[in-house]
């Protein structure tokens, strides 16, 4: 039997009458089979959810930070108890290889829940500025709109700091990979979070997402997704004068400086680009290499390509699953075809790939001889497609790294961290990995330019959900002294 999920509103599972109760199907991209149905929510479900979040706000925002931290820890424990089930679900609805679904898609959000709990517990939400007592207070009802590529992580990166700050939330998860969100609702109910603190409405972006972004009862929109979606919610937010945090796309570069160890930089760069079938907003989809190392790099990629044969993502040995949908597959194929038609070449694997017979699989593709003005060099493909491009000197490398409309992430490789960091400071990008430095879930994550302007995770991510209230006191007031700790 295929599961059919309802909305989660005010602590209850609710079927509202939007679109006469119509459903949307959720597909397994490795098999193209339908694995679940969700409700096609609209303005009615959104209105109920926002009303529930508004009702819950006054009590929840007045709780002690330690209470909210305890709920976050309980939620982490509950998700961890069901970790294998979350990983299997995300493997089935996104097509992420199961090993990565366990290590990244599931373990990371559990870690973020725990880190946020500690942070909320340890943060001092009040300070003195002159004769004022300045309190950091929750911004209000948060609309969280999330994509499908790291679905649980992107939900937790909003939900944990929002409820930790004392906000209440209406979540509209991606209609492409919504099951993990509804499993999270079960965990929310199981740990006894008060009704209305977390509400989940399913549906499309054009219907449920747009209705949520435009609802006058919300105080903030935190959106992760495409540039066009981010621009649409920004317009809606502007109408209601609502704060936004936008986490959008990327076209990040891995810059291999002349002094770098080529072998490691190329191997890690390829793995980074192909992670989750290239469906990672921060993926290093352009590899910039010194001109005199260009052909050596292409040769070493040819030898490495065999590791990324597309395969059934539920297999423990799989490194590359399908892309998420038929729409995404057509988009990726279009970018590759367009690049080849414009004169690009692809690195041929030593043995041709054999694609699984069903599912939205595409060959991992490494392109070279690409012009920097070509779409595949400038635009986000969101598939396993890497462009290798030569540069003349480090100024040229910095210019190429910065020449797209995005500025989300990147990597720099050099003989010393000092040299790599000095170069990294020339890049207009929100995060940058120095010689393969690992992801840090406490460091702010977000972008420049069309990659958006929000910051998620850690103390800076928590601050997104806070605003201030200043109380001016008489000079010498005992309240000033009382808080001077
Ligand atoms: P998308 O914009 O199509 O959808 C994202 C979410 O927004 C979904 O829930 C969708 O239903 C909703 N939505 C779409 N249009 C909307 C509208 N007009 N109003 C309100 N809601 C709307 O993006 P996607 O295809 O799900 O995700 C892929 C994109 O997300 C890529 O561009 C990727 O780079 C980006 N992304 C960015 C980050 C980051 O942190 N910067 C992280 C992951 C993904």
Does 148 contact ligand 1 (Cβ within 6 A)? Answer: yes
Nearest to 458 by CA among 115, 78, 138: 115
What is the model's pLDDT at position 485?
43
- Give the alpha-carbon dihedral of 288, 291, 297, 299, to 10 degrees: 140
CB 111 within 8 A of CB 81: no
Does 247 contact ligand 1 (Cβ within 6 A)? Answer: yes
DSSP string, 467-479: EEEEEE--TT-HH
Stretches in the chain below the pLDDT threshold 50: 484-485
Determine the Cα–Cα distance for residues 222 and 229; give it in Å rounded to an integer: 12
Whether residue 372 lies in the annotated active site: no
pLDDT for 119-176, tens place per residue? 999 999 999 999 999 999 999 999 999 999 999 999 999 999 999 999 999 999 999 9
Tell which atom from ligand 1 comes closest to the C-alpha of 249. Answer: 34
Q: How far away, in angstroms, is 480 Cα from ligand 1 center?
A: 45
Does 208 contact ligand 1 (Cβ within 6 A)? Answer: no
Whether residue 12 lies in the annotated active site: no
Nearest to 206 by CA among 181, 173, 232: 232
Per DSSP, 350 falls in state S
What is the model's pLDDT at position 480?
82
Does 110 contact ligand 1 (Cβ within 6 A)? Answer: no
Q: How far away, in angstroms, is 248 Cα from ligand 1 center?
A: 7
> Which residue among 104, 171, 205 has the greatest number of ligand 1 atoms within 8 angstroms of its CB, and so is best to mutate?
205
Single out the catalytic residue among 175, 247, 456, 464. 247
Q: 377 in helix, strand or coil? A: helix
What is the model's pLDDT at position 396?
98
Query: Which residue pairs from 453-459 have beta carbons closer than 8 angstroms and sit at least 24 positions apart in sequence?
Result: 453/244, 453/245, 453/246, 454/222, 454/244, 454/245, 454/246, 454/247, 455/245, 455/430, 456/157, 456/158, 456/161, 456/245, 456/247, 457/112, 457/157, 457/161, 458/115, 458/119, 459/119, 459/123
Q: Are strands 198-200 and 168-172 parallel, antiparallel or unpaired?
A: parallel
Q: How far away, in angstroms, is 118 Cα from ligand 1 center?
A: 29
Determine the Cα–Cα distance for residues 445 and 431; give it in Å rounded to an integer: 7
Exposed e or buried b for every residue in 293-318, given b needs 16+ CB within 10 A?
Answer: bbeebbebbeebbeebbbbbbbeeeb
What is the model's pLDDT at position 19?
86
Does 172 contact ligand 1 (Cβ within 6 A)? Answer: yes
Q: 164 in helix, strand or coil? A: helix
Determine the Cα–Cα distance for residues 321 and 459; give it in Å rounded to an integer: 34
What is the model's pLDDT at position 16?
84
Single out the catalytic residue among 27, 273, 281, 456. 281
CB 360 within 8 A of CB 332: no
Nearest to 136 by CA among 144, 124, 118: 124
Determine the Cα–Cα distance for residues 259 and 290; give it in Å rounded to an integer: 10
Does 281 contact ligand 1 (Cβ within 6 A)? Answer: yes
Residues 6 or more apart from 400 whose CB is under 8 A from it? 253, 286, 288, 372, 389, 391
Does 27 contact ligand 1 (Cβ within 6 A)? Answer: no
Which H or E element spans position 1? none
Q: How far away, in angstroms, is 415 Cα from ligand 1 center?
A: 37
Tell which atom from ligand 1 comes closest to the C-alpha of 227. Answer: 32
What is the model's pLDDT at position 483?
54
Give the closest residue (by CA) to ligand 1 atom 35.
225
What is the model's pLDDT at position 482?
59
Does 210 contact ligand 1 (Cβ within 6 A)? Answer: yes
């Amino acid at each position: 039997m295929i599961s059919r999920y309802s909305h989660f509103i005010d602590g209850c599972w609710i079927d509202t009458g939007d679109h006469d109760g119509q459903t949307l199907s959720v597909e397994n991209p490795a098999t193209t089979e339908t694995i679940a149905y969700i409700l096609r929510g609209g303005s009615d479900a959104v209105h109920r959810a926002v009303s529930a979040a508004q009702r819950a706000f006054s009590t929840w925002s007045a709780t002690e930070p330690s209470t909210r931290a305890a709920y976050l820890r309980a939620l982490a424990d509950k998700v961890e108890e069901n970790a294998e089930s979350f990983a299997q679900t995300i493997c089935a609805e996104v097509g992420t290889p199961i090993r990565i679904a366990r290590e990244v898609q599931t373990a990371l959000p559990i870690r973020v829940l725990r880190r946020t709990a500690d942070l909320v517990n340890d943060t001092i939400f009040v300070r003195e500025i002159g004769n004022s007592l300045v309190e950091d207070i929750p911004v209000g009802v948060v609309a969280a709109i999330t994509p499908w590529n790291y679905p649980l992580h992107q939900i937790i990166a909003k939900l944990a700091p929002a409820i930790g700050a004392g906000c209440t939330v209406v979540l509209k998860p991606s209609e492409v990979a919504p099951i993990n969100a509804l499993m999270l609702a079960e965990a929310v109910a199981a740990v006894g979070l008060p009704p209305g603190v977390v509400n989940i409405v399913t549906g499309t972006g054009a219907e449920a997402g747009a209705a949520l972004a435009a609802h006058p009862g919300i105080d903030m929109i935190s959106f992760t997704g495409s540039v066009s979606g981010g621009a649409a919610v920004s317009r809606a937010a502007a109408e209601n004068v609502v704060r936004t945090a936008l986490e959008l796309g990327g076209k990040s570069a891995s810059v291999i400086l002349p002094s770098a160890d080529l072998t490691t930089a190329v191997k890690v760069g390829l793995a980074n680009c192909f992670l989750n079938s290239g469906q990672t907003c921060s993926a290093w989809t352009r590899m910039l290499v010194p001109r005199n190392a260009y052909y050596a790099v292409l040769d070493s990629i040819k030898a490495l390509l065999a590791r990324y044969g597309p395969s059934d993502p539920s297999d423990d040995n799989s490194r590359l699953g399908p892309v998420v949908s038929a729409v995404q597959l057509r988009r990726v194929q279009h970018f590759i075809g367009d690049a080849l038609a414009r004169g690009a070449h692809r690195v041929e694997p030593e043995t041709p790939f054999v694609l699984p017979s069903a599912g939205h699989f595409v060959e991992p593709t490494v392109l070279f001889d690409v012009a920097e003005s070509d779409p595949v060099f400038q635009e986000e493909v969101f598939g396993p497609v890497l462009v290798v491009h030569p540069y003349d000197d480090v100024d040229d490398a910095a210019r190429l790294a910065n020449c797209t409309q995005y500025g989300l992430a990147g990597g720099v490789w050099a003989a010393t961290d000092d040299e790599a960091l000095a170069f990294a400071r020339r890049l207009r990008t929100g995060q940058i990995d120095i010689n393969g430095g690992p992801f840090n879930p406490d460091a702010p994550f977000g972008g420049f330019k069309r990659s958006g302007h929000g910051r998620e995770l850690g103390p800076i991510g928590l601050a997104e959900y806070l605003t201030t209230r200043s109380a001016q006191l008489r000079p010498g007031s005992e309240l000033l002294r009382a808080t001077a700790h």
